Structure 1
Amino acid sequence: MRIGGVALPSGEPGTVAEAMTTGVQVWVESAPLRSLVRHFGGDWPTGDLGAVLDGLDAFSARHWDFRAGRERPAAREPVLGPDTATRVLDAAAALGLVHPVPPARSRYAHLVVLGGLAHACLRRVAYAAHLLRAGASASGELAVLGSFRPLSGMERRTLTDAGLPPCGTEVDVLDVAVRRLFGVPAPAEEDRHEAGHPHDSWSSRTYRPAGLPPVRVLAAPSSEPERRRAHTADTQRFWAEHVALSPGDRVLLVTAPIYVPFQHCDALRTLALPHGCGIETVGVDPALPDVAVLPEPTLTPGRYLQEIRSAIRSMRALHAAL
């Protein structure tokens, strides 16, 4: 799977572990990433692929982690000179975090929309609706995956400014987006588990728009509810428990271009490896008029560095699973 100048690990159905490991190595040891590490004063880690990934994780924690455990909207923005900013953007483009690429085919077993910040939830659901109405098909379902993550004040203001109803959590925004963009007033089926803590709760709502596949909106529980909310891998794993995935099934994941490398590798680890399905991951094209439901936020060099770190960590986890 090639998004930028450097290919991501293959998500073709039946990809063997050795080939997937080679794909991780190709991306991790690529010239753009090596150049970026060198520019920030790092020496390239020595040893086998596992040692290199360990070293890059530690290096990126020191130099590119601006969240420090906080949610993305609370990340600080680093002060970077013009030359550094240009180098970061060039590396991000080469590593597949900048330019959207359309799906490679039109027929899939399932389409999966990954949740995120409020504006991203709306945009990604709109892109999935665009794909289905433009001729893409899903023989199974469209799954929209989120959690009970509380919205930030900035996200709530974004929804208010856009004239959308108030929402308290990420999954609330996904649910509003599905109802509006698919013209479905209420779910056909609904199930919910209320635990003592929202990180351990879950919900499932299935809508049935006319002429389109079923749309399931899931809020996943965390695999570590005492420590954190559900993250991307939790939502993917939870969805796999609710759908019959078979070897050879092709799954199309929809996210934003900046998150494609890390969320693609998360899906290889949580979906492709245990179930034998194929994974293709695409980023929303913000230039399409029917997905411009909210203004596109400016993505800074600091944001790209943070998500290059996310990709390194996701590839490290994939390599460990392999």
Structure 2
Amino acid sequence: MRRDASPAFDPVDVPRWPAGGVPDAVLLESLWAWLSGEPVQALAKASGWGWAGSADPRRLLGELCQRCADWDFRRNRERGAIESDAAVVGDRLIPEELAVAAARALGMVDATEPPLADASRLVVLAGAVRANVNRLHRARSFQRGEPRPGEVVVTTAARDLSAAERSQADTLGLTEWLLPGRRMTTEADAVVAAARATWELRGLPEIDGRLPDGGDGEERTAAAWLRWPGGAVADVTVVVAPSADPDARRANTFDQLTYWRTRSPLTPRDHVVAVTTQIYVPYQQLVAIRALGRPARCGVTVAGVDAAASATPTKAFGSRDYLQEIRSFFLAAADLRRDVDAG
């Protein structure tokens, strides 16, 4: 950490995965560098953990996954429900400027340009209504140059929208882009409407499966593919994915990317650029490596939308949000490590 008036850290690279992949030893080394770097150490000490980081990387990861329950401000709620209050662990206040500085060094604040010249597929990871608009806007901006990916895929699920999200969709003008006969009920409806608005897809798509109507457990089991071939700049596909464990939870990012991959084969010549919100880039990079990169040996880069690149204002992230998503990285790293150990 540099000794300036406010905390600042040297940048720590998010693990990379080029086309063809990297040896497991190289992947794990980059994981340990992120986990054991100065930003994470500073946050751990501020949380009262000290720094019990083991010289054994696997033991270090286990310790972090155990201790980071202190940073679970979500508590099984939607991410948007995390309060904007200061982050407190026990009786310790985590300084806002420390959390933001660490998050910036860890690649969670400022967007960078992905390797578009190598990209063969562009995938947008869906989420809350306003985030979808910003991510799709960012994806559309990636297609303005040459070369550009010939296919755009948006992965989503049948999560029921909150009343606030339905209101946001109406305010953003998405309701008029709903497919005929649909209501703004699920995340899938919002994503389809936002994709149609972004690429001005006025025609009806080819549909395989059935869009869910919401409720009745559909948010965990619904599956559908909607495709608009030959759009203005690319084919556009929306993939509504089911949960891999419907008895326990709805579909997560890993389920969505895996479902897409199993029906859209990738090769070591492909490079997938996935778009999310910048705060989620580090942990979703690990998820994408697990779901796409390791099974298909294709290249994977997760790119983000930051405040400067957003088309519409969304939630301002604070210390609680950043600690929550650093925790997500720890847990995703543990999943990836188990995959590597299992061969």
Q: Aligned-pair distance for 1:187? A: 3.8
Aligned ranges 1:1-322 → 2 under 5 Å: 5-13=11-19, 14-43=21-50, 44-46=52-54, 48-61=56-69, 63-80=70-87, 84-139=95-150, 141-165=151-175, 167-192=184-209, 197-198=217-218, 199-288=220-309, 291-292=310-311, 294-322=312-340
The alignment's C-alpha RMSD in Å is: 2.0
Tell me whether 105-114 or 190-199 shows the greater mean CA deviation: 190-199
Residue 12 of structure 2 aligns to a residue whose secondary structure is coil
Residues 12 and 279 of structure 1 are in contact (CA less than 8 Å); yes or no, is this contact kept in structure 2?
yes
Residues 113 and 145 of structure 1 are in contact (CA less than 8 Å); yes or no, is this contact kept in structure 2?
yes
Residue 209 of structure 2 aligns to a residue whose secondary structure is strand
Q: Which amino acid aligns with 2:191?
A: L
Report the Cα distance in structure 1 between the residues aligned to 2:94 and 2:232, rounded to whole angstroms: 51
Residues 99 and 257 of structure 1 are in contact (CA less than 8 Å); yes or no, is this contact kept in structure 2?
yes
Q: Runs of 5+ in structure 2 lacking a partner?
A: 1-9, 176-182
Residue 116 of structure 2 aligns to a residue whose secondary structure is coil
Report the Cα distance in structure 1 between the residues aligned to 2:204 and 2:79, rounded to whole angstroms: 31
Q: Aligned-pair distance for 1:53? A: 1.3
Residue 239 of structure 1 aligns to a residue whose secondary structure is helix
Deviations 1:244-278 (A, max 9, x none): 20013111011111000010000011111111000
Q: Aligned-pair distance for 1:163? A: 3.4
Share of identical aligned residues, percent? Answer: 30
Q: Runs of 5+ in structure 1 lacking a partner?
A: none
Report the Cα distance in structure 2 between the residues aligned to 1:136 and 1:151, rounded to whole angstroms: 36
* TM-score, L = length of structure 1: 0.91
Larger Rg: 2
Are the structure 2 counterparts of residues 80 and 69 from structure 1 closer, same or farther at C-alpha, using a change threshold of 3 Å? closer
Report the Cα distance in structure 2 between the residues aligned to 1:224 and 1:192, rounded to whole angstroms: 19
* TM-score, L = length of structure 2: 0.86
Are the structure 2 counterparts of residues 136 and 193 from structure 1 closer, same or farther at C-alpha, using a change threshold of 3 Å? same
Q: Which amino acid aligns with 2:43?
A: L
Q: Aligned-pair distance for 1:128? A: 1.0
Deviations 1:50-81 (A, max 9, x none): 221121111111x1101111221233444348
